[in-house]
């Protein structure tokens, strides 16, 4: 079985499973029954931490996760998110963390997830129109009512985290972090360590790029959002191949895959980091889980750091119009 880690005082498996791609974001959604079976296979293999959000689909992903985990609800931790304003057709049209909106979303999420409590509730993106104290206070109320157990933030800056944490302790911050996006290292990670808050990196495999399975000639389905991402233009992919070469070199030496090295590197940064790679395939789930057993020594980590510092990653991580509001 996979070892455990702690986000604040919430114990979860050392790797979680990001479920978004099972119904949203990366081309046509696969068969729902196959995805239910994949989620249950993850539970059988010891994964206890599952990540979803109302906007994935929208709504479809929470329904999928709820149905898949209903028979094993007492063995798992479900994380979901609020904070977007949706049009009647389900398009994201901005952020909305007004207290009454948070409560509406939570009631709907509880139904879709077939549960009476959400283990970890994140604010999906900071809403600058609503003081973070009001957001934290609303979640505090939901925790007192038993509808939520733990409070999280996503892509929030240090000041916002501190202000929220003073009202309702923050259990985890979820933000993008990987060998090709290392911004949290400068200010966020030291602040989380000081406050005892866990960290959940999303896109720990660089939206698939760090697996080494994508090159400049790869084409994506027309509905795959990577088509719009500057970091995924053919030119950027060609330039960023240097990172894959680095991972492949270490992987060959460790009898592992580039994806396993990328995840093992994250796990080695701090004992309170729990990455949530997503996948639609059992073989990839097992490959990702294998990362927990990969031992990177201090020398390995120094070598990766030193080589990675010579590589300038090309391309922004989001198109400009998506940078603040995206739920991906």
Instruction: For residue 328, tell me if it sits in a domain.
Output: no
Cα angle 251, 202, 154 (rounded to 5 degrees) comes to: 155
Q: pLDDT per residue over 54-92, tens digit each?
A: 999 999 999 999 999 999 999 999 999 999 999 998 899
Instruction: For residue 167, tell me if it sits in a domain.
Output: yes
Count of positions (residues) in the chain: 328
Residues contacting residue 32 through CB under 8 Å, at least 6 positions apart: 23, 64
- The two tokens of residue 44 are 């059988």
pLDDT number for residue 322: 77
Asked whether 121 and 152 are in contact (CB, 8 A), the reply is yes
Asked whether 199 and 189 are in contact (CB, 8 A), the reply is yes
Cα four-point dihedral sign 247, 253, 254, 255: positive
Catalytic residue among 56, 122, 177, 318: 56
Instruction: Calculate mean pLDDT across residues 300-308.
Output: 96
Residue 235 confidence class, pLDDT cut points 50, 70, 90:
very high
More confident: 251 or 321: 251
305 alpha carbon, distance to own chain's centre: 23
| pTM given for the model | 0.97
Residue 53 parent element (H or E): none
Residue 325 confidence class, pLDDT cut points 50, 70, 90:
low
Domain count of the chain?
Answer: 1
Asked whether 70 and 63 are in contact (CB, 8 A), the reply is no
Q: pLDDT per residue over 212-228, tens digit each?
A: 999 999 999 999 999 99
**12 pLDDT exceeds 70?**
yes
Instruction: For residue 327, tell me if it sits in a domain.
Output: no
Q: pLDDT per residue over 93-108, tens digit each?
A: 999 999 999 999 999 9
111, 168, 182, 243 alpha-carbon torsion, rounded to 10°: -30
Mean pLDDT of the chain: 96
Q: What percent of the chain has pLDDT over 90?
A: 96
- The two tokens of residue 205 are 């495999």
> Is residue 26 among the annotated active site residues?
no
pLDDT number for residue 321: 79
Asked whether 80 and 56 are in contact (CB, 8 A), the reply is no
d(CA 109, CA 132): 21
- Is it true that the peptide bond before 58 is cis, omega within 30 degrees of 0? yes
Residues contacting residue 283 through CB under 8 Å, at least 6 positions apart: none
Instruction: For residue 276, tell me if it sits in a domain.
Output: yes
d(CA 294, CA 272): 17
Asked whether 258 and 247 are in contact (CB, 8 A), the reply is yes
Residue 326 confidence class, pLDDT cut points 50, 70, 90:
confident
pLDDT number for residue 1: 81
Instruction: For residue 316, tell me if it sits in a domain.
Output: yes
Q: By residue range, what is the domain housing residue 61?
A: 4-322
Looking only at the bridges linking them, the beta strands covering 84-86 and 77-82 are unpaired
Domain of residue 270, CATH code = 3.20.20.100
Q: pLDDT per residue over 180-204, tens digit each?
A: 999 999 999 999 999 999 999 999 9
pLDDT number for residue 230: 96
Give the Cβ contact number of residue 52 at 10 Å: 29
């Amino acid at each position: 079985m996979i070892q455990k880690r702690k986000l604040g005082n919430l114990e979860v498996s050392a790797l979680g499973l990001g479920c978004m791609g099972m119904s949203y974001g990366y081309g046509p959604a696969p068969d729902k029954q196959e995805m239910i079976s994949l989620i249950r296979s993850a539970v059988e293999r010891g994964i206890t931490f599952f990540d979803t959000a109302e906007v994935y689909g929208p709504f479809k992903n929470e329904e999928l996760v709820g149905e898949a985990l209903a028979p094993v609800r007492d063995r798992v931790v479900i994380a979901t998110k609020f904070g977007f304003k949706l049009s009647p057709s389900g398009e994201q049209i901005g952020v909305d963390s007004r207290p009454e909106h948070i409560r509406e979303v939570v009631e709907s999420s509880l139904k879709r997830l077939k549960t009476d409590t959400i283990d970890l509730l994140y604010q999906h993106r900071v809403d600058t129109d609503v003081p973070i104290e009001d957001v934290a206070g609303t979640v505090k109320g939901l925790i007192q009512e038993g509808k939520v157990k733990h409070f999280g933030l996503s892509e929030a800056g240090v000041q916002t985290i501190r202000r929220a944490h003073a009202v309702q302790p923050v259990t985890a911050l979820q933000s993008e972090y990987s060998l090709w996006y290392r911004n949290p290292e400068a200010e966020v990670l030291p602040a989380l360590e000081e406050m005892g808050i866990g960290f959940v990196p999303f896109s720990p495999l660089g939206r698939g790029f760090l697996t080494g399975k994508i090159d400049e000639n790869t084409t994506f389905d027309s509905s795959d959002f990577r088509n719009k991402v500057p970091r995924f233009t053919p030119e950027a992919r060609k330039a960023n191949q240097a990172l894959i070469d680095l991972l492949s070199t270490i992987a060959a030496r460790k009898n592992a895959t580039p994806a396993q090295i990328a995840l093992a590197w994250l796990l080695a940064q701090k004992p309170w980091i729990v990455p949530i790679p997503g996948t639609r395939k059992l073989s990839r789930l097992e490959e990702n889980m294998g990362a927990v057993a990969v031992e990177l020594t201090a020398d390995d980590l120094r070598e990766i750091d030193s080589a990675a510092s010579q590589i300038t990653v090309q391309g922004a991580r989001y198109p400009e119009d998506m940078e603040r509001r995206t739920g991906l």
